Chains A and B, each alone.
Chain A
Amino acid sequence: MKSADTIPTNKQDITDYLQTLLAEELQIPKNVIRPSAGFGRFGLNSMKAVLLSEKLSNHFNISVEPTLFLDYDSIEALAAYLEEQLTAL
């Protein structure tokens, strides 16, 4: 769990964090992970979605369901949702 001051809460920072996380976990160069890209581009299967949702839950200290990767069709759309959740805390 992170301290509150290290958790990004605006959409841009969250987008950047998501790009970094995907790059590390999926072994993909970060520049390929464009904010507008859908998660289908990276062949995100259910196992990877569970892994990533756990990392996001731990990092942001909120509940992140694996199904969010299906519900949101791009990194920036998911970032906008997470921003909304974090702002509401």
Chain B
Amino acid sequence: MTPTDIKTYDQFTSNSTYDLQEIYAFQDQLSILKNQKLYGFEASHTPLSSTTSQIDRIDDISVKTINFGGYNYLGYGTDVRVKEAAKEAIDLYGLGAYSSPVLNGTLHIHKQLEKKLLDFFKLDDHGITLFPTGFCVGQGTIQAFMSSGSFIIMDEKAHASMIEGAQLSGATILYFKHNDMADLEELLSDLSDLKTRKLICVEGVYSSDGDCCPLDKLVKLAKKYHAYTLVDEAHSVLIAGDHGRGVCEQFGVLDQIDLYIMTFSKSFGGGGGALLAKKEVSDYINLYASCRAFSCALNPGLAGGLIQVLELASGEDGDRRRTAIKGNAAYLYEKLAPYVTIPDHKNWVLPVIFGSEEKAFPIYNFLHQNGLDASIHIYPAVPKGTARIRLFISSEHTQEQLGTCADIIIKTARTFGFSKQD
């Protein structure tokens, strides 16, 4: 198949006609990709270890791979102590929470998790709002905190969950250039005469590019222009900062952020998420975040496992893994930098940009066939023409696995024409 035969995501977006044309067109495209043995999305993954997987694809391709496509950054999701704690919680509480956390779904183990999180962050006047999914944290927090007539000033690369929360809130949304504090100040200055609520939304480590927001500068601007701040630490909590309290800790502004949000699906290796905010704010969001109030509470098995993760991550075990992941990221960067264009931040989210969306499926297939699982990122998750392979580095990757990963990426770059040395 030539790359021009492959259509991109935006060519199948829904429309208002009765005939479901886009759904059947997408099905045709899916059939072509499956017949050509090029469809790596929605594949079934079976972990063989914390860093390797058996992949059985829906186009009947089966491969064993090194896993650089999952978010199990610190390996806690597959740690035996964490799994045992989750099992014990299920034995005690059952499989689910069976109700909204507002009504009857808040279990004793949820309160234990909240306390453990507060102990971890050491912010006495704060509270925790638990959410059933990571996406729901950004969406629900912003939807509840903001409303029509207020302004949300968002980094242009902010996650879809924040954008959807902003849209649900009814507030006016304005975007500033990625990590450009001068552009942010221009917007804040233009809005300075308005006495309405303003919220700046950013990520600690950006999920697409892996770079950090300069939170020290951002907090100064927020104070100068009387804006509230929201930081999504989905890709940085437990990893960044000396104690794993995130990029907010790294920049020394943890106690100055109004809304600190995190997911448990990445460095925690579980699922769900939480808001950390002043107690009175957290109490309010508990009730007014619709996706929380109208969902079942976090399942107790997850809560039990997450408590154990916090126990480990707050001690020497966490220190060791934080050091290892940063060392692994630097090592892979050094291996790849001469051959492919990559950012120099040396963080654990490492994007290798190949550009054209049409190459995405052939490249994903090529990676699988060579024994590497990575995350393929295409429009609308990233701007058109900036499609990329995202490599998620773990503290648990061995040096041999990092070397093999680099070799496969370099081979892929040479095959598909995005090597620096071509």
Contacts and interface: CB of A to CB of B under 8 A. Distances in A.
A42 B175 CA distance: 6
B105 to A, nearest CB: 35
Interface in B170-220: 172-176, 186-187, 190-191, 194
A26 B172 contact: yes
Contacts of B191: 29, 32
B interface: dominant SS: mixed
A28 interface: yes
A3 interface: no
Contact of B175 (A26, A31, A40): A40
A78 B73 CA distance: 45
A1 to B, nearest CB: 27
Contacts of B172: 26-28
Nearest to B173: A43
Interface core residue of B173, B174, B186, B194 (most chain A CB under 10 Å): B174
B258 interface: no
Interface string A21-55: 00000111101101000001111000000000000
A29 B194 contact: yes
A9 to B, nearest CB: 28
Interface in B212-270: none
Contacts of B190: 29, 31-32, 34
A42 B173 CA distance: 7
A82 B276 CA distance: 49
Contact of A41 (B163, B176, B194): B176
B175 A32 contact: no
Interface string B139-165: 000000000000000001000000100
Contacts of A42: 174-175
A84 to B, nearest CB: 26
Interface core residue of B172, B187, B194 (most chain A CB under 10 Å): B172
A28 B163 CA distance: 17
A27 B151 CA distance: 10
B118 to A, nearest CB: 35
Nearest to A31: B190
A32 B156 contact: no
A64 to B, nearest CB: 21
A28 B174 contact: yes
A25 B299 CA distance: 43
Contacts of A28: 172, 174
B174 A40 contact: no
A46 B343 CA distance: 31
A43 B175 CA distance: 7
Contacts of A29: 190-191, 194
B201 to A, nearest CB: 12
Interface string B46-90: 000000000000000000000000000000000000000000000
Contacts of A26: 172
A43 B194 contact: no
Given A32-B174, A40-B156, 20 more contacts: A26-B172, A28-B172, A28-B174, A29-B190, A29-B191, A31-B190, A32-B187, A32-B191, A34-B186, A34-B190, A40-B175, A41-B174, A41-B175, A41-B187, A42-B174, A42-B175, A43-B163, A43-B173, A43-B174, A43-B175
Interface of B: 156, 163, 172-176, 186-187, 190-191, 194
Interface of A: 26-29, 31-32, 34, 40-43
* Smallest CB-CB A-B distances: 4 pairs: A32-B190, A43-B173, A41-B175, A27-B172
7 contacts: A32-B190, A34-B186, A40-B156, A41-B174, A41-B187, A42-B175, A43-B174
